[in-house]
């Protein structure tokens, strides 16, 4: 009888063990996050949207740090963490955040949180069809969820958090709310962090792969986050035979056509429009804008410079007027004319005469829910950093007041001229307003319409508009903006 009972118990244990997904690990490194956030309101940038509660997942890595998604903890005013194998909650705080890669590192001051926990090591890039295990705390329960799947696609894809195109991995395991930030593992190592899913698609999820995670961790070693490099140039495919002949390419050559180059970007002064990039750091660029990358295969050309840190250099093989050239560029920090994500946690704005000006971003366009169609079309045509323009300034809305009567239903227009001057950026616009003289304040929008205010009346109405709309100050230009003088309200 004892032997039969022992064999039954052994069989039950074997069945339970075999039911676990391949590669499932001890939950001591998996973390549940409870977050209280107060996000800024981009459409009313002087205020916030109010308190919101959300949950997410994370994983303990080396040096007593917790790795999770940026979108799980952005705008957090309170973060509490609990280990999957524990019962106590501990306060945590964000130490580094990358909106680009949708990653964040958290710190927990109370060392008891890490007692007995085994930090999960970072693995390598997974292969297509490789089995992976997803850990996290999705909606539908409070305990740890463990699911399995396979790697089904590897490509450069858009990250919802930042609108950046970075290396991404698709897996056939669902990524539901709450899963975000949890580790995707194979055997005993992290190969990705769960990131986002697709609405109305079953068992399709995306993870941030190990090379992107490694880039982020290497970046912050010096105590500062610099981000992922940009080339600062717009490229076009060369799949047209006539296009290649017109560029004087040999039949054996492939490459990417340079359409335009951002002023002040890494490629400025090195590349020219109509150049053809044949190779990047020795990786031949195909006519479809892909390169062959070790361990992955064919993938978008962006991987070549995105695998480097800001400040490093890259060699370009260029065809210019039929002549082959070797060019070297330094991947200096560079922001596009229309960035994907805000550059500061608090949105920048300037309010004058009830006119609310903001820098245009993909995030603002998205939050406006297609209400900025004029701005979108203007940005697509003019999305190039020039000496005269470093960002697009938007007339986001008009706060109704007698001084701006006639324009009170305006909003979403780009600003082309302010008193005859092209505003380089929002700070420059603020300076133009402060220095304005004469009877009128006049702006010209991107589509040529004109707004004219009585300058003296607009300045006189400043304090009243701030009071009526509960606005503390007439502007916020960012944490580093200062003119050395005490800011006066208008």
Active site residue 102: yes
In angstroms, the Cα distances linking 49 to 44, 54, 163, 370 are 9, 14, 22, 19
Which SS3 state, helix, strand or coil, does residue 196 take? strand
Check 99, 100, 102, 334 and give the catalytic one. Answer: 102
Residue in the structure block whose two tokens are 């004219």:
452
Contact 31, 84 (CB under 8 A): yes
Active site residue 172: no
Check 29, 37, 57, 71 and give the catalytic one. Answer: 71
Q: In what order do the strands lie in the sheet with 393-398?
A: 450-454, 440-445, 413-418, 393-398, 355-359, 349-352, 475-476
Contact 61, 210 (CB under 8 A): no
In angstroms, the Cα distances linking 146 to 25, 120, 389, 470 are 10, 16, 50, 48
In angstroms, the Cα distances linking 402 to 354, 457, 460 are 10, 10, 12
Active site residue 71: yes
In angstroms, the Cα distances linking 294 to 44, 127, 273, 291, 298 are 47, 11, 30, 10, 9
Residue 237: closest CA among 247, 223, 252: 247
Residue 395: closest CA among 424, 416, 421: 416
Which SS3 state, helix, strand or coil, does residue 257 take? strand
In angstroms, the Cα distances linking 271 to 209, 232, 287, 357 are 31, 10, 18, 34
Phi then psi for residue 184, to 5 deg, are -110, 120
- Round to whole Å and give the CA distance between 290 and 301: 5
Task: Quote the radius of gyration of the chain (alpha carbons, Å).
Answer: 26
Check 37, 98, 162, 180 and give the catalytic one. Answer: 180
Q: Any idea which residues carry the catalytic annotation?
A: 71, 102, 180
């Amino acid at each position: 009888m004892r032997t039969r009972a022992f064999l039954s118990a052994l069989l039950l244990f074997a069945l339970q063990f075999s039911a676990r997904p391949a590669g499932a690990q001890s939950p001591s490194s998996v973390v549940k996050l409870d977050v209280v956030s107060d996000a800024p309101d981009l459409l009313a940038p002087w205020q916030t949207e109010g308190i919101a509660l959300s949950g997410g997942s994370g994983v303990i890595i080396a040096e007593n740090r917790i790795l999770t998604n940026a979108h799980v903890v952005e705008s957090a005013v309170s973060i509490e963490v609990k280990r999957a194998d524990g019962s106590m909650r501990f306060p945590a705080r964000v130490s580094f955040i990358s909106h680009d890669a949708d990653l964040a590192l958290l710190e927990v001051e109370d060392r008891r949180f890490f007692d007995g926990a085994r930090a999960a090591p970072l693995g390598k890039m997974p292969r297509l069809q490789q089995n992976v295990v997803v850990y996290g705390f999705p909606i539908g329960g409070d305990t740890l969820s463990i699911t399995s799947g396979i790697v089904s696609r590897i490509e450069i894809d858009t990250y919802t958090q930042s609108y950046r195109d970075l290396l991404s991995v698709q897996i056939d395991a669902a990524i539901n709310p709450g899963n975000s930030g949890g580790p995707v593992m194979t055997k005993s190592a992290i190969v990705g962090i769960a990131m986002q899913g697709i609405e109305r698609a079953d068992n399709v999820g995306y993870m941030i792969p190990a090379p992107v995670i490694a880039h982020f961790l290497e970046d912050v070693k010096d105590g500062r986050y610099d981000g992922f490099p940009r080339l600062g140039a717009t490229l076009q495919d060369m799949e047209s035979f006539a296009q290649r002949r017109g560029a004087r390419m040999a039949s054996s050559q492939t490459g990417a056509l340079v359409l335009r180059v951002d002023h002040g970007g890494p490629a400025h002064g090195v590349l020219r429009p109509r150049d053809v990039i044949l190779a990047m750091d020795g990786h031949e660029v195909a006519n479809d804008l892909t390169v062959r990358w070790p361990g992955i295969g064919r993938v978008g050309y962006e991987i070549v410079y995105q695998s480097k840190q800001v400040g490093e250099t890259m060699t370009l093989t260029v065809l210019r007027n039929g002549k082959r050239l070797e060019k070297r560029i330094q991947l200096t920090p560079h922001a596009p004319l229309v960035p994907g994500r805000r550059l500061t946690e608090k949105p920048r704005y300037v309010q004058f005469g009830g006119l609310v000006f903001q820098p245009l971003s993909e995030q603002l366009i998205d939050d406006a829910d297609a209400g900025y169609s004029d701005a979108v079309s203007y940005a697509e045509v003019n999305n190039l950093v020039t000496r005269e323009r470093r960002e697009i300034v938007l007339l986001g809305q008009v706060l109704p007041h007698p001084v701006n009567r006639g324009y009170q239903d305006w909003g979403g227009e780009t600003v082309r001229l302010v008193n005859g001057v092209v505003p380089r950026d929002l700070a420059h616009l603020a300076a133009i307003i402060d220095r304005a003289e004469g009877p009128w304040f006049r702006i010209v929008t991107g589509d040529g319409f004109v707004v004219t205010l009585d300058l003296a009346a607009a300045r006189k109405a400043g304090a009243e508009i701030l009071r009526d709309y509960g606005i503390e100050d007439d502007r916020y230009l960012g944490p580093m903006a200062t003119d050395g003088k005490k800011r006066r309200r208008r």
